Amino acid sequence: MSTPAADGITVRRCVVRVIRRGGWSWGPDPQDLVRQVLDALPELLAERFGEHLTGEGPDLEITEPVLLTVKPPRAARNGLAPAGLVVEPAPVAVPPPRPVAGAPPPGPAPAGASTTEDATMAAGPYAAGEASRTPAALFAELAERGELAALLAGLPDAALRTYLSALLAPAPDAAPAGAGTRAPAPAGPVPAEVIGALAAELARRLSRPPPPATRDGLAELLDALPGAETEPLPPALRADAGGWQRVPAGETRVCFVLPFLLAGPLARTGYLDAIGPALAGIDLPEEAPLLAAALAYKVLDAPERGWRRSGEAGKAAAAFAGLESAPDLTGFAHRVRPALPVLDGVLALSLCRGHDPEDPLLVLGVDGGLLLVDAQGMFPIAWAAGTAGLLPHWEACGRPPVLVCAGPLPPPCLRELAEAGVRLVTAVPPVRDDPLSRLPWRTPLWTTGGVRQRLAAELPALAGRAGDLVRTLFEAHRAVPLAPDRALERSVTLAASLALGLLAWTLWRERETPDPLLALTRFADLEGTVRYSRDTVSVKLPLGRRHADLWRCGALTDVPDVVWLDGRTLTFSGG
């Protein structure tokens, strides 16, 4: 409780949450971020309530909680956080004005303040309500950070067409949500910066002058944008569409709680906040639990005979998704394909934003395409069918050196990388037209030049670790083994690998080389109890060394507004 002061506001209870948008590291001193926010908070509150600090008029007593969002300007936010990090105070619980005895009733509440019986806090940039779970809200947030153009440039034509159509569509008629589902949010107004970015991207792809930055101007070019229609779903794969039920309130024991540990790292990268808008853009917001189940399968036991799962693995996946039983994901893998490039792009932007240009990247041949991996921590950044799909991510990382690992690479891979100006080292013998030269080394290596010899020495060890990652998470631990298309498989592999890598990085980077497989193996058999209530999903872990390590590094902090849990908060405890 603060001391009363003349011409001031006495705050008796104030809750501040620091929210990081993007990036994958809290920096060397995370508590310093909180201290800097608290130091800046008095000035921000004074600016917000300056009109009430003039010393004139009656005193006001605040008794009912309200939500007040205090958002510093971009320059101030950048001053509070290291490079690649944006810190924003969460909505602060402040009571609404009420006149004291004998005072006249106050005027209307200040703009931006809202009264609610149950004060809650936003979990991230897209978690402030149903209106924020739209593609327009997601794209507006990316535009504010200056990253929307990079995301749009990485979308295939079909995905860009899908989301452009969703943005230009009129608001749907309001309809009540069914049990356990959310009503789709209206599209609402699209910010001008989003319209401008879409117009620029369309002009680039169609080689035309930029159209007017209006909805009508974009609509005229929509039909000219290439993009095949989604193939109809075979009747045999339609059975899982809506054939699942939410888990009721109660408690269940699960043998694997590792999927729940992925939620915190993915929330910090912005991935969880992007799920709702990405699925809303293809009219699948109610199928977020199916995406959660696919994510859980990635870190559970590998299926027997390539497709059959144990009962405990299915129970754990259903518990993580908030469902009564494990769903069939084969049809969902087909339906969700248009949304996957958006989710993959959000992950890639997060990793590229935090990459040090001095650290190398790895390129491997996976699934007939190429996989780009951050060598520091073995974070998979992106998968692409060819070299052109990886070059934007390489440039976003600061054009670092690249180590090309031996494997099933597309034939023109080395030549296209070299022609793009990539400094690389590889053990793959070049063909006739590849502009590479032999490196004087104890083993056969080739390079384009400009790469330090230290990286040549590190290539075998890094390639071995990357190969283990691919064999384990991309090949053995299959999320949707019976799906004919592997787009969902690759997408959830990228997300799960990033979350596992962040856990390993946070826990063990001071004493050993972090790697996603370390977290996978060390937490694979961690069990716990999951309890579902109206507002929370609580996970209780057994006390011990693993619980202590997770608690100490902040991996057991609450994850608010989880989209596949109907906006409930995911909490952790020990016992």
Structure tokens at 184: 């789709």
Is there a domain that residue 93 lies in? yes
Nearest to 379 by CA among 398, 395, 356: 356
Residue type (1 letter), 73? P
Dihedral sign of CA atoms 319, 324, 326, 331 in order: negative
Residue 42 gets which letter from DSSP? H
Q: What pLDDT was estimated at residue 235?
A: 53
337 in a domain, yes or no? no
Give bridge partners of residue 572 from the DSSP assignment. 539
Shared domain for 354 and 445, answered yes or no, is yes
> Which of 429, 444, 476 is a domain's end point?
476
Is the CB of residue 118 less than 8 Å from the CB of residue 146? no
85 and 161 part of one domain:
no
Give the C-alpha separation, 493 to 565, whole Å: 21
Q: Are 480 and 452 in contact (CB under 8 A)?
A: no
Per-residue confidence (pLDDT) for residue 497, from 0 to 100: 96
User: Is 110 inside a domain boundary?
Assistant: yes
Domain identity same for 77 and 193? no
Write down the pLDDT at residue 243: 62
Please say whether the dihedral angle defined by the alpha carbons of residues 39, 44, 47 and 50, taken in this order, is positive or negative: negative
Q: Are both 99 and 168 inside the same structural domain?
A: no
3-state SS, residue 400: coil
Of 430, 450, 476, which residue constitutes the final position of a domain? 476
With CA atoms as reference, report the closest residue to 559 among 346, 263, 301.
263
**Is the residue at 22 inside a domain?**
yes
Q: DSSP string covering 52-111, please?
A: G-SS-S--EEE-S-EEE-----HHHHHHHS-TT--EEEPPEEEPPEEEPTTPPPP-SPPT
Output the pLDDT for position 500.
96
Q: Indicate whether 535 belongs to any domain.
A: no
According to the model, what pLDDT value does residue 38 have? Answer: 77
CATH of the domain at 395: 3.30.420
Task: Look up the domain containing 141 and give its range.
Answer: 130-172+185-229
One domain, residues 50 and 151 = no
Rg (CA), the chain: 25
Residue 371 in domain? yes
β-strands 445-447, 536-541: how paired?
Answer: unpaired
10-residue mean pLDDT profile of the chain (575 residues): values are 54 70 55 74 73 61 58 41 34 35 37 32 37 82 90 90 83 45 52 86 81 72 64 51 75 93 94 94 93 95 83 92 90 93 94 90 94 94 94 93 91 92 92 87 88 89 94 92 91 96 93 93 94 94 93 92 94 91
Using CA atoms, how far apart are residues 361 and 397, in angstroms rounded to an integer?
9
403: nearest Cα among 457, 352, 441, 469: 457
Q: Is residue 438 part of a domain?
A: yes
What is the DSSP annotation of 179-228?
TT--PPPP--PPPHHHHHHHHHHHHHHHTSPPPPSSHHHHHHHHTTS--P
**Do residues 94 and 153 both lie within one domain?**
no
Per the structure, how many domains does the chain have?
3
Quick one: 201 and 93 in the same domain? no
Q: Examine residue 97 and state whether it is found in any structural domain, yes or no.
A: yes
What are the tokens at 518?
Answer: 């370390």
Cα 134 from chain centroid (whole Å): 15
pLDDT at position 354 is 85
CA–CA separation, 70 vs 569, rounded Å? 22
User: What per-residue confidence (pLDDT) applies to 90?
Assistant: 36
Looking at residue 53, what is its pLDDT? 61
Same domain, 347 and 458: yes
378 and 450, same domain (yes or no): yes
Rounded to an integer, what distance in angstroms lies between the CA atom of residue 557 and that of residue 34?
15
Q: Are strands 569-574 and 536-541 parallel, antiparallel or unpaired?
A: parallel
What is the rounded CA–CA span in Å between residue 552 and residue 574? 13
User: Of 437, 458, 476, which residue constitutes the final position of a domain?
Assistant: 476
- Decide if 539 contacts 257 (C-beta within 8 A): yes
C-alpha to C-alpha distance for 429 and 237, rounded to whole angstroms: 44
Residues 190 and 101 in one domain: no
Same domain, 378 and 425: yes
Task: Identify whether residues 379 and 436 lie together within a single domain.
Answer: yes
